[in-house]
Structure 1
Amino acid sequence: DELGKVKNIADGKHTSQSLAHVQIAHPSDQKRIGELGIAVVFTFVWANPSFQYEMMVIPFIDEVDGIEDLYNPDHYYMQNVYPAGSIHEAGGMLVNGSDAPVGSRDPMPFSSLQAALYRSDGEVILNPDQRIDIHTAIESFTINGARVMGHDDQVGSIEVGKKADIIALSQNIVRLAESGATNQISDTTVTLTVFDGEVIFEEPGI
């Protein structure tokens, strides 16, 4: 509601509005976020199931009848945790955040990218309806982050007139996602880094 009250001011100043660390949002709030066009910074790697963590959280939100009931798809938590898909469909802007170095010293971009699409540990899928496609996920790592910072005229996409900030990858992540091999995305590595037109990293032998 408070963001809604100042939306006109923010728009007038060309200032973006954003929310970070959104873990659970009521369906009405998911829609409202989209209607306001707010950017939501998700730490997508957290959308992977974590049994030890969820054992400490879900019982405070839902009545859980034993361990086997922890990931009950009818629970409020399971239906509303990390609602990236709904917020995107409603018009919100998705942005990836790593939370490094708190959760990990490594920002783990490819693990986060995989989690945005997969949301699974191989057994449990955490709120599967909220998975997003590879192209939406890539935008959350690139142009959307630039938009939130107000630098999308300089970085965030490969276009004439923008800075040449480019990476080459060890495998085609779009092909992996679209061929059903999403769980292999986290194995991706950077083989070349170009920053402001200058090669600053190159894997030997490429």
Structure 2
Amino acid sequence: MRAHAHGNLRHGPVILSLPSTMSFAAYAAPHPQTRFSPQFFASITIADAADLIRDNRPPRILSKSSVSKWAWDRTEPTAISEIIVAAGEDIPCMDDMYLITGAAEIAYYKEGAHSVCLQIGNRIVRYHLSKLHLILGANNQMYNLAAAARLLDRIVSGKPLLPNLIEEFKLNGFSERLAGFHVTQTPIYMLGCLLGERWAEEDLLNARAEIIY
């Protein structure tokens, strides 16, 4: 297990494994039904997105440089906490993950890496390589999930739509595209930028709308 950053990172014994015949893409792909996988975001509704933010305790994205050390490991994780992103879990930010995710495929083939160990503060955690993709998914979509939740809250509280239309809106897919935005394929959650005077994003939405005039 080779440590990166400074010092040596220890996390239990290194279990040597035979070279895997499975491709990296197959091994590192999260289960389709796992939260924060690409298939998860493609399957949830606006209501699901709002529930995740309000009730299910989304993961907390840590500040940059929270990961002080990391090392590849040949151990294949089996603990559920090492495979999924749990509710309320502290996860590294995108900046801390770029180097790790960028090197994962080479480490899998050349070093037999099946997991990575990270030191976060005083803790050492082990991640299955598939969990790296879930962490990136959570980082990429957390703002958009919150935007969908804010949008739904405003529609429900302000009642600009009839009750049956509100229920219909809740069932729209989180990643569903706005009707009329055929070229830019703007997702519904982008309407959340119209709340809270986020002028830069509103200008972007207006510019995209110009295409349909």
Task: Answer yes or no: same fold by TM over 0.5.
Answer: no
What is the TM-score when the length of structure 2 is the normalising length? 0.26
What is the TM-score when the length of structure 1 is the normalising length? 0.27
Structure having greater relative contact order (Cα 8 Å, sep ≥ 6): 2
